[in-house]
Amino acid sequence: METTTSNSLVIVNDQTKESTKLDFVAIKSAAMTLRAINHKLRQQIVKLLDENKRMNVTDIYVKLRLEQSVASQHLAILRRANIVITDRDGKFIHYKLNYEKLTDVSKFVADLVKK
Q: What is the pLDDT of residue 115?
A: 58
Question: Strand 8-12 vs strand 19-23: parallel, antiparallel, or unpaired?
Answer: antiparallel
Give the pTM. 0.78
Does position 17 have pLDDT exceeding 80, yes or no? no
Domain count, the chain: 1
Domain of 28 in residue numbering reads as 2-114
Question: Strand 84-89 vs strand 92-97: parallel, antiparallel, or unpaired?
Answer: antiparallel
SS (H, E, C) the chain: CEEECCCEEEEECCCCCCEEEEEHHHHHHHHHHHHHHCCHHHHHHHHHHHHHCCEEHHHHHHHHCCCHHHHHHHHHHHHHCCCEEEEEECCEEEEEECHHHHHHHHHHHHHHHHC
Q: Where residue 21 sits, what CATH number does that domain have?
A: 1.10.10.10
- pLDDT tens per residue, range 66-90: 999 999 999 999 999 999 999 999 9
